[in-house]
């Protein structure tokens, strides 16, 4: 079994680390706010440096690329040669590549391995991991990720996992706004939320935003809408991901007209009423703009 340092134990990191422990790995965790980790039964130590002391593998699950670099500033010099660094945060492709470069220059090995599947997937151990790494490290990376994963896809070299992730979240944000608009429209046309769900979840509107993270309470009891949109996947994180997607679109000359509009919608929501809410709370904005609240 492997000794793993897990840094960043928030909504995602805490249940992910708990699944590693359940699989028999030894985990030393660190978070500036240790509450969620302690509640999930993950041992927390006093600093990032203390967490990496005996680590064979270091996993980071942090809100931004700047924080991944800040943690690397602290820990890189304390690691044994060959230690495997796996960053599962969602960050810019450039930040992922520069973090991996720093690790390899320090004699370590590195992978970007962002995830999809939300808190539900983190708790169930069914996340989809998108991996950017040397192919020769893949068997070891896959073995470490396995207790947290439904699927591990090798997307290419360093940064390729983050490239796949921004594409996924661009789709997700657009679909969540679409699902929200459709529910509000259906309600105004006299349909119940359950009827809209029963039809669309068995028809061509079917998607994760509808069937797992449904923005109305009732049809999917585990969705954030049933707990006043407590995240889940917080709106500011979705706004961040759309920023990364639009940055990538600009760099590559990709026309993402709907993506730009959805980015604006989420930016405004995250800076205002949605600051503390799951991204499915965007339905509140649709209701407000429709004169419903």
Q: How far is the CB of 220 from ligand NAD (least distance, A)?
A: 15
For position 13 contacting ligand NAD by CB under 6 A, the verdict is: yes
Note the helical H segments in the chain. Answer: 13-22, 35-39, 48-51, 65-75, 93-105, 118-124, 138-145, 160-188, 193-200, 208-211, 235-252, 257-271, 282-289
Nearer to ligand NAD, 168 or 180 (CB): 168
Q: Given candidates 4, 5, 6, 11, which one binds ligand NAD under the rule CB under 6 A?
A: 11
Tell me the C-alpha distance between 264 and 197, whole Å: 27
Site for ligand NAD in 237-256 (CB under 6 A): 237
Catalytic residue among 165, 230, 240, 288: 165
Angle between helical axes of 282-289 and 160-188 (0-180°, round to 10):
40
Site for ligand NAD in 41-100 (CB under 6 A): 48, 61-63, 67, 70-71, 89-90
Q: How far is the CB of 157 from ligand NAD (least distance, A)?
A: 21
For position 33 contacting ligand NAD by CB under 6 A, the verdict is: yes
Residues 69, 95 contacting (CB under 8 angstroms) = yes
Binding window for ligand NAD (CB under 6 A); candidates: 101-109, 156-164, 197-205, 230-238: 230-238
CB-based burial, 152-186: b 16+ in 10 Å, e otherwise: bebbeebbbbbbbbbebbbebbbbbbbbbbbbbeb
Q: Residue 208: CB partners within 8 Å, gap ≥ 6?
A: 172, 175
Q: Given candidates 4, 5, 6, 8, which one binds ligand NAD under the rule CB under 6 A?
A: 8
Tell me the C-alpha distance between 153 and 128, whole Å: 8
Q: How far is the CB of 133 from ligand NAD (least distance, A)?
A: 18
For position 31 contacting ligand NAD by CB under 6 A, the verdict is: yes
Label residue 134 exposed, middle or buried (CB < 10 Å: 0-12, 13-18, 19+). middle
Total residues at the site for ligand NAD (CB under 6 A)?
A: 26
Nearer to ligand NAD, 65 or 186 (CB): 65
Is residue 165 part of the annotated active site? The answer reads: yes
CA angle 10, 15, 21 (to 5 degrees): 125
Binding window for ligand NAD (CB under 6 A); candidates: 10-18, 21-29, 96-104, 220-228: 10-18
Per-residue interface string for the shown chain with ligand NAD, residues 113-132, x marking contact by CB under 6 A: --x--xx-------------
Any idea which residues carry the catalytic annotation?
A: 165
Q: Report the interface residues with ligand NAD, using CB under 6 A.
A: 7-13, 30-33, 48, 61-63, 67, 70-71, 89-90, 115, 118-119, 232-233, 237
């Amino acid at each position: 079994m492997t000794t793993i340092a897990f840094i960043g134990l928030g909504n995602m990191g805490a249940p992910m680390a708990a699944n590693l422990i359940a699989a028999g790995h030894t985990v030393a965790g660190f978070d500036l706010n240790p509450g969620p980790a302690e509640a999930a039964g993950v041992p927390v130590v006093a600093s990032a440096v203390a967490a990496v002391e005996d680590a064979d593998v270091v996993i980071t699950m942090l809100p931004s690329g700047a924080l991944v670099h800040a943690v690397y500033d602290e820990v890189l010099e304390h690691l044994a040669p060959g230690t495997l660094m796996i960053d599962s945060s969602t960050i810019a492709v450039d930040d992922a590549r520069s973090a991996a470069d720093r690790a390899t220059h320090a004699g370590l090995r590195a992978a970007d391995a962002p995830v999809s599947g939300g808190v539900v997937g983190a708790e169930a151990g069914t996340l989809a991991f998108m991996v950017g790494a040397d192919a020769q490290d893949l068997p070891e990376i896959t073995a470490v990720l396995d207790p947290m994963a439904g699927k591990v896809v090798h997307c290419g070299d360093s940064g390729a996992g983050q490239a796949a992730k921004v594409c996924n979240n661009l789709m997700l944000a657009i679909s969540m706004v679409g699902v929200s608009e459709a529910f509000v429209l259906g309600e105004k046309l006299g349909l119940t939320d359950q009827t809209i769900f029963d039809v669309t979840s068995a028809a061509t509107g079917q998607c994760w935003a509808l069937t797992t993270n449904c923005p109305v309470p009732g049809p999917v009891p585990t969705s954030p809408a049933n707990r006043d949109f407590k995240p889940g996947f917080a709106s500011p994180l979705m706004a961040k991901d759309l920023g990364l997607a639009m940055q990538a679109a600009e760099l590559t000359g990709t026309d993402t007209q709907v993506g730009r509009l959805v980015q604006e919608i989420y930016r405004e929501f995250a800076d205002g009423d949605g600051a503390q809410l799951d991204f499915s709370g965007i339905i509140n904005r649709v209701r407000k703009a429709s004169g419903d609240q």
